[in-house]
Amino acid sequence: MLADQFDAFLLDLDGVVHVGPDPLPGAVDALARLRHRGKILRFLTNDPRPTRAEVADRLTAMGVQAELGEIVTAGWATAVHLQRRGAARVYVVGSSGLAEELRAAGLQLLEHGDPHAVVVGCDEAVGYPHLRRAATLIRRGAQFIATNPDPTFPTRQGPWPATGAITAAVSIASGVRPLVIGKPAPAMFHAALAGLAPGVRAAMVGDTLDTDVLGAHQAGLTAILIAEEPPAALSSRDPRAPDATIADLSRLFDPAQPLRSPPPPTFPWPQEIRPGVAAVVFDAAGRVLLVRRADNGLWGLPSGHVEPGETVAHAAEREVLEETGLRVRVSRLVGIYSEPASQVVTYPDGRVCHFITASFACAVVGGGLRPDGVEALAADFFPTDQLPTDLLRMHPQWLTDALHGHTGTFR
């Protein structure tokens, strides 16, 4: 049974332990049984509004024993994160509970002057002056912290705007993306696992794939989903695919419940998928055109992303012209590639993109080698058996597919 396979259980609250003010079937008894067996329990919520004491009181009122030190809210995890990084002064857009947690961690809450960080959490009283001040301070250099990413929270009247909606407004106005603390971000899991002995076997139990399951896997934990049915149509490599699905917490004690081993994460989770192009250009001597990329210093085929309104063929021809000064014409499609281990790219601002790249064989029709110095530090033709060793990971494969005349390769 799952209960025997772990020493510690990280439990999401809403949808796992309770729904609204009511405990879920089997939850109170299952949590008491876990505690009786000496399991370590942590209760996690992305709701940044209540204090930990308020959450503990709420659980106690439902019949769930919970100590203050077992509660991990996104607000408290934010306070811990800021405290560890020495951010002493903060401007807060958020609830009184969030402000209380930040003060309790020794942080000074500023209404005037320049803070180290701007903290944005869900706040039902947020107004234009808060957004204006937050964006202005971030533009002046304050770090931008979001307590959690959730765009909405459920109510009887339907979904209402949550932290993610407010941080989106500040993000667009400041031009800066926030550092997110709540699930699925690692900071929340670091806060939950802090103080546990090394080697403790921990599992996360949650009801949301994009936060609980994804975050658990990124933190190297087993992920148990609370749902009637396992999610359909997720590949086994998708980090949102849970390792076990159970209807409620009582099933932790089901001797027949299977558990798969979580696949180790091999790439950071992308926020978006973008179309990309690459060009395989040979000269008359059969040498291949490579550029030394400015962003990582590695050699690679000319490549980039498709701009709005462009065909993929035009995008390939434009990228070669921009990066190298050569005019080329696409002659044939070599392949379409999406291998995430090499085509998930993390940008300096924290954005993570997964590229789907169409690679084309191209012929030179004019121009001359003039690397632009912005995207390409250098450009040159290389004999295909004397390629530089510091070459982008997938590019030798793309070149091989082009050399062997393959058409329509896909990976």
Residues with catalytic function: 12, 14
Stretch that binds Mg ion, among 9-17, 70-78, 121-129, 131-139 (CB under 5 A): 9-17
Tell me whether residue 212 or residue 317 sits nearer to Mg ion (CB atom): 212
Contact 275, 305 (CB under 8 A): yes
Q: How many residues bind Mg ion (CB under 5 A)?
A: 4
For Mg ion, the closer CB: 12 or 70? 12
CB closer to Mg ion out of 17 and 330: 17
Q: Which of residues 16 and 87 has its CB atom nearest to Mg ion in the complex?
A: 16
Based on the shown chain and the rule CB under 5 A, indicate whether residue 340 belongs to the binding site for Mg ion.
no
Site residues for Mg ion, window 90-149 (CB under 5 A)?
Answer: none
Q: State the minimum distance, in angstroms, from the CB of residue 43 to Mg ion.
A: 11
Point out which span in 4-12, 94-102, 115-123, 349-357 binds Mg ion (CB under 5 A): 4-12
Among 7, 15, 136, 384, binds Mg ion (CB under 5 A): 15
Which C-beta is closer to Mg ion: that of 15 or that of 340? 15
CB 276 within 8 A of CB 355: yes
Residue 14 in contact with Mg ion, rule: CB under 5 A: yes
Shortest spacing between CB 155 and Mg ion, in angstroms: 14
Q: Which residues pair with 44 in a beta bridge?
A: 12, 72
CB 102 within 8 A of CB 80: no
Q: How far is the CB of 16 from Mg ion (least distance, A)?
A: 6
Residue 193 beta carbon to Mg ion: minimum distance, rounded to whole angstroms:
19
User: What is the smallest separation between the CB atom of 207 and Mg ion, expressed in angstroms?
Assistant: 4
User: Considering only 22-30, 205-213, 270-278, 303-311, which stretch makes contact with Mg ion by CB under 5 A?
Assistant: 205-213
243 near Mg ion, rule: CB under 5 A:
no
Instruction: Indicate the residue among 207 and 238 with the shorter CB distance to Mg ion.
Output: 207
Q: Which is nearer to Mg ion, 207 or 254 (CB)?
A: 207
CA distance linking residue 206 with residue 229, whole number of Å: 14
Min separation Cβ 206 and Mg ion, Å = 6
Q: Name the segment binding Mg ion (CB under 5 A); options: 7-15, 25-33, 50-58, 76-84.
A: 7-15
Give yes or no for residue 19 binding Mg ion (CB under 5 A): no
Cβ–Cβ < 8 Å for 184, 204: no
At 114, the amino acid letter reads: D
Q: Is residue 12 involved in binding Mg ion (CB under 5 A)? A: yes
User: What's the closest the beta carbon of residue 15 comes to Mg ion, in angstroms?
Assistant: 4
Does 207 sit near Mg ion (CB under 5 A)?
yes
Closest CB 13 distance from Mg ion, rounded Å: 7
Nearer to Mg ion, 15 or 161 (CB): 15
* Contacting Mg ion within 346-365 (CB under 5 A): none
Give the nearest residue (CB) to Mg ion. 15
Task: Decide the pairing of beta strands 143-146 and 152-153.
Answer: unpaired
Residue 227, interface with Mg ion (CB under 5 A)?
no
Segment contacting Mg ion by CB under 5 A, of 2-10, 14-22, 71-79, 271-279: 14-22
Separation CA 303–CA 323 (nearest Å): 9
Length of the chain: 411
Q: Which stretch binds Mg ion (CB under 5 A): 13-21, 174-182, 284-292, 373-381?
A: 13-21
| Closest-CA residue to 379 (of 394, 368, 389) | 368
Residues that bind Mg ion (CB under 5 A): 12, 14-15, 207
